[in-house]
Amino acid sequence: MRYLDVGDGVEISRIGLGTWQFGSREWGYGQSYAGQEARAIVRRAVELGVTLFDTAEIYGFGRSERILGEALGEDRESVFLATKIFPVLPVAPVVEQRAVASANRLGARRLDLYQVHQPNPVVRDGTIMRGMRALQRVGLVGEVGVSNYSLDRWRAAEQALGRRVLSNQVRYSLADRSPERDLLPFAESAGRVVIAYSPLAQGLLSGRYDRDHRPANRVRAGSALFLPDNLDRAGDLIEALRLVADAHSATPAQIALAWVIRHPAVVAIPGASSVGQVESNAAAAGIGLTDDQYQALNEASARFRPVTGPAALSGLLRARFR
Ligand SMILES: NC(=O)c1ccc[n+]([C@@H]2O[C@H](COP(=O)([O-])OP(=O)(O)OC[C@H]3O[C@@H](n4cnc5c(N)ncnc54)[C@H](OP(=O)(O)O)[C@@H]3O)[C@@H](O)[C@H]2O)c1
């Protein structure tokens, strides 16, 4: 495993583990996954040196936090535990009470990273950051983070908090490179971290799926990326991943992760549906892409133009009512 030094003697693994899948109906992995496989995934991740574990109060309505906390056991104290508040009522007393509830579900004395899940569209961050400040003062929260924030709003959150907001968790993969515009340069120059979610584009970049083999669950049925036309369009990118993968005796998924964490300010939190996947994902931290390979992947990704927005809507509706 490789680690990112975030200051104050704290290092976090470049490949973490995302746990939206744990206990969430929308991923459709079922009871034995929530009851057994998820635990085995966490235990194996710890063995492999993964220290960044990401969850949220809304994942499975608290079930993900419970499953993760129970699986970590005493290791809760030595890993970097990250959870999120969904800011429906972002006033300081609510933030404080929700942090305590998350810590209780996780069985943790401290939340190493407490993130605002997404910007509240009507309430600015002054009130939520007042709660965060109080939580940091009493030691329940280590670092504050945000998620799905623009650069302007990330900076405004820092101003409201009065100290660094360590990270911004955003979608970042070869299928969506928008954070490169301003978030990555800011993070690199200011010593902040971009936590890449959906680094495998929810499995698309593994190359397992095509128009005749589409994943069946609510998350991906609702994603334009998995429409048959877009799966066709992704063929060239998957082929580019395969070529690089062959050169490293690796898989396309591993190369997709190695590409994401090649940027010095980025860590990735892939989810996993099996222990085999978590092993493969952790091993991706050891893959060093050459400049030529990195460039070839950048070019293939620039050629990938999925149908999105209103143009994709009719396909999504057809898929939903089929
Ligand atoms: N902050 C936010 O708003 C936000 C939003 C989304 C996600 N997240 C966080 O980010 C985490 C990861 O994002 P995500 O789950 O959306 O997408 P992802 O990590 O890109 O994709 C995860 C899925 O890819 C497949 N996969 C994983 N490893 C693989 C491997 N080695 N080989 C082949 N397939 C593999 C698995 O699905 P199959 O095996 O079923 O194909 C797995 O469920 C989440 O768990 C969550 O913690 C945060």
Question: How far are the Cα atoms of 20, 305, 311 from residue 314, in angstroms, in the given order?
Answer: 27, 18, 7
Pocket of ligand 1 contains residue 198 by CB under 6 Å: yes
Question: Are 120 and 127 spatial neighbours (Cβ–Cβ below 8 Å)?
Answer: no
Closest Cα to atom 11 of ligand 1:
18
Q: Which atom of ligand 1 lies nearest, measured to the CA of 56? A: 47
pLDDT (0 to 100) of residue 319: 67
> What's the half-sphere exposure (Cβ side, CA atoms, 13 Å) at 266?
25
> What does the alpha-carbon distance between residue 284 and residue 201 come to, in Å, rounded to a whole number?
16
**Ordered per-residue pLDDT tens for the chain, 322 residues:** 999 999 988 999 999 999 999 999 999 999 999 999 999 999 999 999 999 999 999 999 999 999 999 999 999 999 999 999 999 988 899 999 999 999 999 999 999 999 999 999 999 999 999 999 999 999 999 999 999 999 999 999 999 999 999 999 999 999 999 999 999 999 999 999 999 999 999 999 999 999 999 998 899 988 999 999 999 999 999 999 999 999 999 999 999 999 999 999 999 999 999 999 999 999 999 999 999 999 999 999 999 999 888 777 777 777 665 5
**Ligand 1 binding pocket includes 18 (Cβ within 6 Å):** yes
Atom of ligand 1 nearest to the CA of 84: 1
Q: What confidence score (pLDDT) does residue 313 get?
A: 77
Ligand 1 pocket check for 281: Cβ under 6 Å: yes
Taking CA atoms only, the protein residue closest to ligand 1 atom 21 is 202
Active site residues: 59
Mutate to test the pocket of ligand 1, among 37, 197, 248 (most ligand atoms within 8 A of CB): 197
Query: Residue 114: what are its φ and ψ, rounded to 5°?
Result: -115, 120
